[in-house]
Each structure stands twice: as structure tokens, then as C-alpha cells.
Amino acid sequence: MQKTVIVLAGPTASGKTALAIRMAQLFDTAIISADSRQCYRELSIGTAKPSPEELQTVPHYFIDSHSIKEEVNAGLFERLALQYTQDIFAQREVAVMCGGTGLYIKAFTEGIDDMPLIPPGIREAISKQYEKEGLPWLQQMLQQQDPDFYAIAETQNPQRLMRALEVLEATGRSITAFRSANRTPRDFRIIKIAITLPKELLHQQIHTRVDRMMEAGLVAEVKSVLPYRSHNALQTVGYQEVFDYLDEKNSLDQAQDLIKTHTRQYAKRQLTWFRKDKDFQWFDARDQEAILQYLQKEMC
């Protein structure tokens, strides 16, 4: 049998974690997380990290592997994930990768390009303008000047938006152009599976998950990482809204509602990203048996 990585992707709250564990159990293997925030030890509730029980069921890589003090990006993930894959392949024929961070999955399956150097003057000018005008200015600029990137961007993450604007101003090209040049061939087979749910059901699961996060102590978790609030990993849904609540910019109920709204928007962008990749085989998340049967047939 050819060494194979099964990639399981899809929007947040669609049920990837439970399905990935079933896949790993079926093939007696381990899971590599492709989530840009679950790697941080300090972030658990707001990242919907697998539970301790789930983590004990099968081995997981890239969960709790880094501190919030460290910078993690797609390039680092590519290098680490390839090493994790070789570690798993030393004992197993199959590895499972599971996550919703499209850029990380793309980096692993295709390779990632070196980003252009940005002149300091451009970076400083954009940073000053952001401090003056705020997040709406960044969103508007990119929506107008780089709509392709904006369609799949983390629009609540000012660091990512500033980075895209820097690249645009420095090179005259979209940041997406530096992510889609040459594919790096891999010496193993890749099977791509994507799952989703009908929109109303997905939204319902998102709302339920956010309610559970709040009950589980999301506010306390956000307070515990206040010293690192400028870190890129915290410029995201679930943390920014609670920071605003702690800054008395909104009420706790408003923060909870905003997390739901922004998570729905993020799920939509995830679907946009994954649907552009024609290698994904799509399934209804509720039909786990059909997915497992498909995989068993593919592996024969």
C-alpha cells in the first residue's frame, strides 16, 4: 500500500474532530491538526480544541505544541507537518490530517512560496493608518483593492489584513499570488475529504458551540492571555469580541452574539476556500458511514 495522508477539512463546527478520530481508529493511526490556533497551550476553549478524552483516544500532533509567546505560521506548519508525517509513516501506512485552516492545508499538500520582503516605510505607514482608522478601514481597503483575498480572509484579524495590504502595496500583486505558484510534489498519496452541513444546521451548531464556550469559561481564558493580546493568534474570532467586552466597548451578551455572527462569517469563508480546490471529495457531515466506506474503497 502506498503511504497516504487523508486530509479532512470543512467549516468550523461541522464535526471534523469526531470524524477524524473515527478515521484514525479505522486505520490505527494518528491525527495531525491543521488548525492555526489549537497548537497554543494557552488557548483551549476559544479554539474548540479536542477534549482531553478525545486527545487520549488517538495520538495527536500540533495540539498544545507551542506557547502563545511563539510565532507560528504556514511555513513553520509545513515543515513540522511533513516531519510529523514521516514519524507516523515510520510505523503506519496512513496518517490523518484534520483542520479548518485552509492555508495550512494548502502549505502541507502543495508547498508554500516565500513571501516578498516589505520595505519598512510601507509597513509603518499602514500600521499608523490602522491605528488611526481602525479595523473597518483595513477591511474596506482590501475589499476594494484585493477582493479575491478578502473573500477568504480572516476579516477580524488586523495582522493578516495589514500583511495582505503590505504585499499589495510593495509588489502590486495580491498576497494570494504568492500562495499559488509552483506545487511542491509530495512522495506520498493525498486523499482530500471535505464535510459540511445544511446552512441552518451548521449555524445552529455554531451557536450551540459558542454558548458552551461561554459556559466553559471563555472570558476567564481571554483574561489569562491579556498580556499577549497583540499576538496574531488572538486577533481572531472568540478573543477579539471578549477583549472588547473587557475594554467595556460592548456587553457580554453583545460579545456572545458577535462571536456567533463572526463565526458564521468565518465558516462561509472556509467553505469558499475549500470549494476552490477541486481535489476535495465533499460529504454531508452526518453521513460518516459513507465517508468511511469511501475511504476503505480508496485504500484497497
Q: Known binding site: residues? A: 10-17
Which 3-state string (H, E, C) describes the chain? CCCEEEEEECCCCCCHHHHHHHHHHHCCCCEEECCCCCCECCCCCCCCCCCHHHHHHCCEECCCCECCCCCCCHHHHHHHHHHHHHHHHCCCCEEEEECCCHHHHHHHHHCCCCCCCCCHHHHHHHHHHHHHHCHHHHHHHHHHHCHHHHCCCCCCCHHHHHHHHHHHHHHCCCHHHHHCCCCCCCCCEEEEEEEECCHHHHHHHHHHHHHHHHHHCHHHHHHHCHHHCCCHHHCCCCCHHHHHHHCCCCCHHHHHHHHHHHHHHHHHHHHHHHHCCCCCEEEECCCHHHHHHHHHHHHC
Binding-site annotation, residues for ATP: 10-17
Binding-site annotation, residues for substrate: 12-17
